[in-house]
Structure 1
Amino acid sequence: MLLIGKSTILNSILGKEMFLAKPSVSEVTRKVDQATNHFLNIASNPVMHCIDTPSFNGQLHDPSRVNEIGALLTKVAAGVDAFLFVVKCTRYRYDNTFHQTLQTYQSMLTPAFWPKVIIIFTHATPEILPAAESRIPLLGWAREIQESFQLASPPMTVFAMDSVRFPYPSGGAQEFWEALMTLDANTEPYCHRPFLESFGNGIAVEGYVQRIKGYLALFEPSFFEEQAEGQYKENEHKKKKESRFSIFRKSTNASSKGSSSSSPTLPRSSLSMSNPTKAPGSPSESATSPAIRGRSPT
């Protein structure tokens, strides 16, 4: 029987061997890899863009792995339709290691990624998972995740088998497709903006904020620059508005104080609309303050 892990699941989805996979208990995927093909390798089916990432097994704070995933997300402009968390079905306990892994992803991707999560339990063959009742403890994982991360609903769950012995639809591909279509119909694709904003605001895996920010800036240098420039322009605009309002208030006060005189005059300020004693060669009357430019005198 073939062992099925992350890479094998993706190969099953794409219908052909596109990711390195082998019967091994050790990790096969060492770096982020990606491939594109029609679902189940049938030309009439939709095109699937699949990305295979290394697991975090004992390397939750490995900056190189976080960097790779972050760099990849900055390139996925169209968004991500589903995040697949692949777990062997013989692992009955929702333990602290898995919980910490999910916490790391939430730190990187922000809680915006949760509506796109699908948990896939592999090796769900009749020999290993003989009856429907055997799935109940595993379905409890989704409820534990919901409670631990205070989600509105539990993540979707799919059971997968060896696609050679149990081909479509019994091998789990049908379950996966139905789950994917449900997510597609009810949620928007996850875009990389929450990820960038998370790191841009310093919310990240502790100790690697600056490194990852710099790495992301390598792919989207304009993001942080535009953020800073936008903030500067907003502050400058606010200062100008406050300054003009202050001048207007001073002008109004000066006008009200001089109202008792027999021949009222306009206050000498930048809001003056006319200059009755204009000297030869002085600026034209049309050169008024920007605050009133374009208005016709009443």
Structure 2
Amino acid sequence: MRFGILGTLQLETTEGLVAIRAMRVRALLAVLLLSAPQVVSMERIVGGIWPVRPPRSAVDNVRTYVFQLRSLFEQIDQRDRLRSYPGGYCLAVEPEEVDLLRFQSLADHGHRAVAMGDVATGRNLLEKASTLWRDHPLPELELGAVVRARTTALDEQYWRVRSDLIAARLALGEHAEVVPTLYWLVGERSLDEALWAQLVTALYVSGRTGDALAALATARRTCQEELGVDLGPELRELQAVVLDGGDLAEAPRRHRVSAGGAAFSATRALPAAPRNLVGRHGELSLVESLVGSGSARPNLSVVA
């Protein structure tokens, strides 16, 4: 038996998907799966099934839903999956049976591999984790605020996996290959400057400097229109490197990865120090002539 909550709720057997039509029963299964295999209190179950004002008969209703769900499980695989405990219930599942548990295990191992410098292994694990994600968890169900906060937290875990997967692929030299994915990702999260930085980096290293500058312009316009602010310091510094034709070999403070174990980041890939000033050649020549004129009278020069 397989359970899916990374998207619409799914219950699958070797014979195919099993339909659970009663919405409250579906909600009960969802609440239990989000915490499986831990015990979920009756209070949490009631709050999860009824977003506002649970009925006076809520506890009795939950017991009815438990009976219906338990009967369904017994028909499918004849196992005691829905177990009663003092004050709550627990869904007995194996990690490989729940897409959420598989996703979290793959993500944890992937992050750990990247942190240890094994970027290739980390990339593969993070990619496997990302393929388990079908959609925002349980979009078809009306769930209580506490339970919905849990699904929002899962969204953030997913986006961290996607971002770290892109960073790993950049570290492995897959710059051109990740560009289409990054365009889609910044479309989904247009205010995420880390994603914009990864897109700019991928474009620039792929030789698409014009597209990199266009992406920076779009990011700036988005920040100004949506938030009323300019780009953050890391994107501004990245823009300076692109304009100067600098080297992005150094890596970022965030999403630090590299194929050889050295720190790498797409959001802070700057030279150690500026090498020259841009667009001030005439002014610099004037300053140099004044400084080297040997005049006894001190000269005060201002370059605006």
Fold match by TM threshold 0.5: no
TM-score by length of 1: 0.26
Q: Which of these two proteins has the greater Rg computed from alpha carbons?
A: 1
